[in-house]
Amino acid sequence: METVYSEEEPSRAEVDAMPGAVLVEFGADWCPYCQAIQSHLRSALVKHPDVRHIKVADGKGKPLGRSFRVKLWPNLVFMRDGQVVQQSARPGPDEVEAGLAEISGPSSSQP
């Protein structure tokens, strides 16, 4: 699990091309809502080692966040093989668990 929000962000095309389960987390290190969910997110991700976690610092003029229409933090985008399966703004623990369960498991691109 990533522990700090990265100022460097991949392009939307790079994110869309990522195979398998991907969780893109948008937020800011100073955001109290983002800080509050970290403990639960960390323990939930341990149960889903197949999920790639990308933690992106979001803000005005950040193209990746705008491409996902992020307005509130933390914003979690649960993706599977480049497709958005679920997106949650300020999610509770149940939404985090449901999103991870939805994208985890064998890849749909496998025969």
The per-residue pLDDT string of the chain (111 residues; one tens digit each, 9 = 90 and over) reads: 667 899 999 999 999 999 999 999 999 999 999 999 999 999 999 999 999 999 999 998 899 999 999 999 999 999 999 999 999 999 999 999 999 999 997 654 444
**Is 20 a member of any domain?**
yes
pTM, to two decimals: 0.91
**Is 57 a member of any domain?**
yes
**Is 46 a member of any domain?**
yes
Q: Residue 1: what pLDDT?
A: 66
> How far is it, in rounded angstroms, from Cα 1 to Cα 14?
19
Q: Residue 2: what pLDDT?
A: 67
**Is 7 a member of any domain?**
no
> Is beta strand 52-57 parallel, antiparallel or unpaired with respect to 21-27?
parallel
**Is 110 a member of any domain?**
no
Q: Quick check: helix, strand or coil at residue 87?
A: strand
Structural contact between residues 78 and 25, judged by C-beta atoms closer than 8 angstroms: no
Q: What is the domain count for the chain?
A: 1
**Is 4 a member of any domain?**
no
Q: Any idea what DSSP says for residue 72?
A: S
**Is 2 a member of any domain?**
no
Q: Residue 111: what pLDDT?
A: 40
Identify the residue whose tokens are 């307005």. Answer: 71
CATH code: domain of residue 50: 3.40.30.10
**Is 3 a member of any domain?**
no
Which residues form the domain of 88?
A: 12-103
Structural contact between residues 20 and 107, judged by C-beta atoms closer than 8 angstroms: yes
